[in-house]
Amino acid sequence: MRARGKLLPPLLAIAILAAAWLALGMLVTNSYYQLMLTLVPIWAVLGLSWNLLSGYTGLVSFGHAAFFGLGAYTVTIALTGYDLTPWLGIPLGMVVGVIAAIVIGYPTFRLRGHYFALSMLAYPMALLYVFEWLGYQEVTLPMKRQAPGFYMQFSDYRVYVALAVALLVAALLVSLLIERSRFGLSLVAIKQNEPAAEAAGIDTLSWKMRAIMLSGAIAAAAGGLYAVVLLVVTPESVFGMLVSAQALVVALFGGVGTLWGPLIGAAVLIPLSETLQANLGNVVPGIQGVIYGGAIVLVVLLAPEGIFWRVRDRLARPHATAPIAELPRASAVAIKSPDAPMKTAADAAPLLTVSGLSKSFGGLRAVADVNFEVRTGEILGIIGPNGAGKTTLFNVLDGFLPPDAGDIHFAGQRIDGLKPNRICRLGIGRTFQVVRAFLRLSVLHNVVVGAYVATRTDADALAAATAALGQVGLLDRAEAPAGGLTNKELRLMELARALAGNPRLLLMDEPLAGLAAREIEDMLGVIRALPARGATVVIIEHTMRAMVRLAERLIVLDHGRILAVGKPSDVTSEPSVIEAYLGQKWAASRAHH
C-alpha cells in the first residue's frame, strides 16, 4: 500500500485519461472503433468492481456476472415492460445489485478460499436458467424514436463513448477513495490475515459486506450500460460464465489490487479479442480464441502478478518504498498514561472474571471448568505443558471459539459469545503464538490497522500507531515491509498493533517463543512497562524461568484444568505442578530429598 493522502497525482491521471479517451472518441468516426472505445471502459468498470471485492480482500469471486446480468436485465425489463428510461433504469439496476449483494454476501461470506470462489459461481448460473425459464431468452430494447435522448438512445455514437468514460471515471474515483482510506486498508488486512484483522478490531464481516455491496452496484451499472449500448440482452451474454471470467481476467491480467490494473487489462484484451474475432473469425472459426487464450497463457507465465506490477517493478528505483511524509515525530505524540495512580495488584478490582468455562473438541476437553480472575494492573502468567489448553483458553476469551459452558465478564460486561472484533473494541488486545502479520504491508500500516478500533479519523489512527511503535521501540523500522522483519521485530510489531487499539487487557500468547536470550530481556522490559501505561497483561508461556521473573501471579493449566494459582515462588514448589511438568518419577524422587 502506498502512502496515503497524496490524492492529487492519481486524480490528475484520471482527468488526463478521461480527456484523452474523450478526445479519441470524438475524433474516431469508424463505428466499429467507437464501439471498442465504449466496450473497453464498460469491461474495465466490471473489472474494477471485481477488484474492489476480490482484489483487495482476496476472496475470489467467480460470480460477478450475477450483478452484471441483474443490472442489464433491470434496465431492459424496466424499459420494455414499464417504459422506464435507462437514466433511471441504471440507478435502479444498481439498487438491485446492492440487494443481490446483501442476499449473496451474508450467507456466502461464511465460506473461505476455494469454497467461496466456487459457490459464487453458482449464483449467476442459477440466475441464467431462471431468466431463460422466465422467457427472457433474447430481449431487444425497443427503439424510442420520439424521444431518443430521454431513453438514452443516441444516433451519434460518441455520446455512448462519453457515457462509458463517465462511468469509468466514477468507478476509478470510488476505487481511489477506498484504496486511500481505512476502508481499503481494512480490506487489505483481511486479505493478508483475516484472523489477525478480526483480533485487531476490524469488523471483517461488515467491511466485506460493504465491499460486496459497492462492488455489486458498480457491476450492475456496467451491465446496465452494456444493455443500452448493445440493445440486445440474452441470459448467456450477461449471466454466462464468460462474463464472470472476463471480470477476473481483465483484473488479473492488468494487476490485482491496483487502481489501474483492470483498465490496463481491458484496454489490452478487449480490442485484441474483438479484432481477432472480426478479422480471423470468418477465415478460420476458432483461431481467434486460440490466439486469445495463448496470449493469456503467455502473459501469465511472463508477468504472473499482472502487467501493472511488472511494469512498476521495472520502473521503480532500488529503494522503492517512498518515505511516509506525514509520519509524526514520536515525541510530538503524547502516549496515553493511566489516569489513576497505580494500585498494587492485590487490592485492585477484577478486570476479567472467568467462571465455569469449558470447551471441548469432540471427546477432548481442551478447557474444563476453568475459574479465575484477572486483577486490574497485574501481569498474570498462564503456564502449563504442551496441550494443556492455554491457546484454546485465549481463543475462547477473545471470541475466536465459542465456549461450551461458562461465562466471561470483562469490566462488568458479559463478553462470551461476542465476535473477536467486538471484544477487541471493548478493550482486549491479543498477540498470537505464531505471529500473524500483514506481511505485504509496512510496519506502520500493520499497526495503523490495529489503531482503527480506538480512533475516529485516519490521522488519529496514524498518530496512535506511531505512538505504539515508539512504545515498543520500533519507530525506525516504521516504513519497512513487515515481510522483512526479524522474529523479534515481528513480535514487537504485533505487540504494537495490539497496543495501538489502546487495550485495557492484553492477551499475549508465547511472546518469547523463538527469541534469543538477549532478545528475551528486551521483550521482558517492554512487557514490564505495560501496566504502568494502563494495560493489564495475561501471558502464556512455556518457559517457567522467564515467567517467574515477569508475572506477579501464575495459573498452572494441565489437561484443561487449573492445577494451581498463586505467587510464582509458591506455585513452582507445588508437587502437582512439578509432576505435570516433569513427570511423576521426578516429583517422587524430589520428595525424598
Partner 1 sequence: MGSLGTFLEIFLQALAAGILVGAIYGLMCVGLGIIFGVMRVINFAQGEFLMLGMYFTFYLVTSFGVLSLLGPVVGPYAGALLAGPALFVLGYALHRFLISRATGVNITGTEGEGHYVQLILTLGVALVLQNGGLILFGSTPELVRTPLSSRAWEIPLLYDETASLFLNKARMVSGAVSITVAAALYWLVNYSRLGKTLRAAADNAQAAIYMGIDVDRAHRIAFGIGTGITAIAGGLVATYNPFQPYIGLDFVIIMYAGVVLGGMGSILGAFWGGMTIGLVQQLSTLVLPVQLQNAAIFVVFLLIVLVRPQGLFGRAAERI
Q: Which residues bind partner 1 (CB under 8 A)?
A: 58, 60, 107-108, 110-111, 114-115, 117-119, 121-123, 125-126, 128-130, 132-133, 191, 195, 241, 245, 248-249, 252-253, 256, 284-290, 292-297, 300-301, 304, 395, 400-401
Rounded CA separation 551/158 (Å): 74
Amino acid at 408: I
Is residue 359 within 8 A of residue 367, CB to CB? The reply is yes
Cell output for 207: 467491511
Of 159 and 241, the one with the shorter C-beta distance to partner 1 is 241
In the complex, the smallest distance separating the C-beta of residue 540 from partner 1, rounded to whole angstroms, is 14
Of 90 and 199, the one with the shorter C-beta distance to partner 1 is 199
Query: Radius of gyration of the chain from Cα atoms?
Result: 29
Of 290 and 349, the one with the shorter C-beta distance to partner 1 is 290
User: Nearest to residue 380, comparing CAs of 571, 573, 523, 577?
Assistant: 571
In the complex, the smallest distance separating the C-beta of residue 127 from partner 1, rounded to whole angstroms, is 8
Beta-carbon contacts of residue 128 (< 8 Å; ≥ 6 apart): 69, 235, 236, 239, 240
Rounded CA separation 225/214 (Å): 17
Is residue 308 within 8 A of residue 255, CB to CB? The reply is yes
Of 114 and 456, the one with the shorter C-beta distance to partner 1 is 114
Is residue 424 within 8 A of residue 398, CB to CB? The reply is yes
Rounded CA separation 309/328 (Å): 30
Of 301 and 340, the one with the shorter C-beta distance to partner 1 is 301
In the complex, the smallest distance separating the C-beta of residue 56 from partner 1, rounded to whole angstroms, is 12
In the complex, the smallest distance separating the C-beta of residue 69 from partner 1, rounded to whole angstroms, is 14
Alpha carbons within 13 angstroms on the beta-carbon side of residue 385 total 11
Cα-based distances in Å from 3 to 320, 329, 445, 452: 12, 17, 9, 17
Rounded CA separation 425/413 (Å): 13
Of 288 and 376, the one with the shorter C-beta distance to partner 1 is 288
Is residue 209 within 8 A of residue 98, CB to CB? The reply is no
In the complex, the smallest distance separating the C-beta of residue 195 from partner 1, rounded to whole angstroms, is 5
In the complex, the smallest distance separating the C-beta of residue 104 from partner 1, rounded to whole angstroms, is 9
Amino acid at 457: T
536-541 and 379-383 as β-strands: parallel, antiparallel, unpaired? parallel
Of 21 and 131, the one with the shorter C-beta distance to partner 1 is 131
Of 378 and 509, the one with the shorter C-beta distance to partner 1 is 509
In the complex, the smallest distance separating the C-beta of residue 307 from partner 1, rounded to whole angstroms, is 12
Element (H, E) at 408: strand 405-410
In the complex, the smallest distance separating the C-beta of residue 60 from partner 1, rounded to whole angstroms, is 7
